[in-house]
Structure 1
């Protein structure tokens, strides 16, 4: 059977250089929107609805992780949202932080700014006034330092202006009053593209383990007969096989085919109940493998019909690719996709979104 997965990155993590490896973004997303771009110490990207994000990249050896995140929707009236994250080992979570911009207090006067804390991460959400002031200051400033009781982080502004200018270009704002960087008198901003609508279909109640296991065993035996090298048969992997009813006597089967230190790759099939010879691979948009039916660290929720995946670039999960698909009753359609190509301690919720859909 197939061997040697070890700690190798899955296919969707190969192609675009990043911290500990490389990322290959699914073709569907790249066809709809430009891939993320790096501007010195910043990264920026947009999704298929032209909502764009810019992130500062913490130094690779930083003890205290601090970064800025700017997000802006494409609609002409949409305002930028700027947040700061500070991760530290707090004895007591901070309630305020203080900022210095190239050594000078920001905002002027040095007032403490309130933060919210969730575990080891403190979040500062900037006001519209402070957002505008910091964007303007970034034209000349080089570094923002954030201090909280028990932790200090440094954020480079090198590349921030270029990243925001790129966002203005993607959204058609250059030369308009709403541009982040290159403002002008032109009042016309293109409307946001319409997002695709995905109608997810809940599935029948999940099979219990006694009922699920035979379906997966039947399919695994059938695939082994067709191609002994298609899927590893390690006992630990076989225990991770899963199956769910999709209705109309159809079964969704996930066969665990390879495992590394932190990534489990599974192949997905739809088969008529108890008829493994008629099983067909699920053709995921952007899926891995020869048949496009492989996903990494995947989980299916039959209550919502949502199938999520999370391909980690390294064990702590601060880089890689995440996304999901919705079962419509007939097929799986892409619902969302996000990526982070640099392993710098940035939480998955802050990764750059490349694809979104609307649920119905």
Structure 2
């Protein structure tokens, strides 16, 4: 994702075409990686799958909505993979009532009209639909146009346009079409591909963090060398964001902060022998700034776990962008997770579409 160095943001327009440009821009950094296919947009819904074919579908709230409500459906691969459907509320829903009333095109849902219990965690209110209610809503989505959520003094609508197409696409990705476990196109075919195991990543903790003075010296030496070679490669006014950590065996991880914006700090990462900047090697991140580059945005390294995470914001409130992480295994940084949301619609980062996941050894 290439950012505007002056603002630290992706070039986002206020209209739908701007949101599309954001999604395209985010994917410039992901092309050619081992992640699952790019998320797809189906009218008012988005769907995507990860590397083990766990798939997610999310309704997209209107761009101008102040009271945000959306549905998130996630389903693991394999014959036993069960769909889990959540209703999420953000914005004015800060203190949820004991229960919420739902309607489908003006008709009470579930059919008995029972209010559904809600829980709150930070600024996110959640209703977890039962397996029975999930199946009922999926079936109703074939004809219904809108799900309405109401509480005293508050209401929000969720468009179902595109939901059936999104779930049909998920069935296709998981090999469920024509099977009894399909969400949409059911049949008698019993041959559903099994779920594949998660890749296992063994992270290696590194020695205690370099003291402030030593870390500053390592970064300063590398920055000075690179400035001689390429004067415009890193902005000097971002140098206070530099960092360095020991990786053991005389090696150092160095992060040079090269571009600072309003809410994004882009850093270049190198591994070098301690005190030898001429032998520094740029890292190659699959999810970096395109072409396997060594830049990550809003990145942080935890030497206690060997984990390097990043969170590139599409805009300041952090409701769109790309997030992910890598683990140091003693030789290199290996991808551990990746998620994205290419539409700025108030969707919480924990609900973004996961494209890669792993298990820790």
Which residue of 1 is the match for residue 215 of structure 2?
A: 212
How do residues 246-257 of structure 1 correspond to structure 2 at under 5 angstroms? 246-257=247-258
How do residues 176-195 of structure 1 correspond to structure 2 at under 5 angstroms? 176-195=179-198
Which residue of 2 is the match for residue 239 of structure 1?
A: 240
Which of 129, 133, 152 aligns to 1:149? It is 152
Which of 72, 83, 95 aligns to 2:86? It is 83
Cα gap change, 1:183 to 1:29, in 2 (>3 Å): farther
Greater CA drift, 326-335 or 17-26: 17-26
Which residue of 2 is the match for residue 136 of structure 1?
A: 139
> How far does residue 65 in structure 1 lie from its aligned partner after superposition?
0.1
How do residues 208-287 of structure 1 correspond to structure 2 at under 5 angstroms? 208-234=211-237, 237-287=238-288
Greater CA drift, 116-125 or 267-276: 116-125
Which residue of 2 is the match for residue 98 of structure 1?
A: 101
> How far does residue 195 in structure 1 lie from its aligned partner after superposition?
2.6
Distance 1:205 1:136 in 2: 55
> How far does residue 8 in structure 1 lie from its aligned partner after superposition?
5.0
Cα gap change, 1:57 to 1:95, in 2 (>3 Å): same
How do residues 1-360 of structure 1 correspond to structure 2 at under 5 angstroms? 5-7=5-7, 9=9, 18=19, 21-22=22-23, 23-25=25-27, 26-27=29-30, 31-90=34-93, 92-234=95-237, 237-288=238-289, 292-360=293-361
Q: Secondary structure at the match of 2:324?
A: strand
Deviations 1:126-161 (A, max 9, x none): 000000000000000000000123421100000000
RMSD: 2.0
Distance 1:253 1:327 in 2: 14
Deviations 1:181-201 (A, max 9, x none): 000011110012333221110
> How far does residue 178 in structure 1 lie from its aligned partner after superposition?
0.4
> How far does residue 33 in structure 1 lie from its aligned partner after superposition?
2.0
Distance 1:304 1:137 in 2: 46
Partners of 1:82 and 1:125 within 8 A in 2: yes
Taking structure 2 as the reference length, the TM-score comes to: 0.93
Q: Secondary structure at the match of 1:239?
A: helix
Q: How many residues align?
A: 352
Cα gap change, 1:69 to 1:92, in 2 (>3 Å): closer
Which residue of 1 is the match for residue 14 of structure 2?
A: none
Deviations 1:271-320 (A, max 9, x none): 11111111110111232267711001101111111101111111101001
Unaligned runs of 5+ in 1: none
Cα gap change, 1:146 to 1:6, in 2 (>3 Å): same
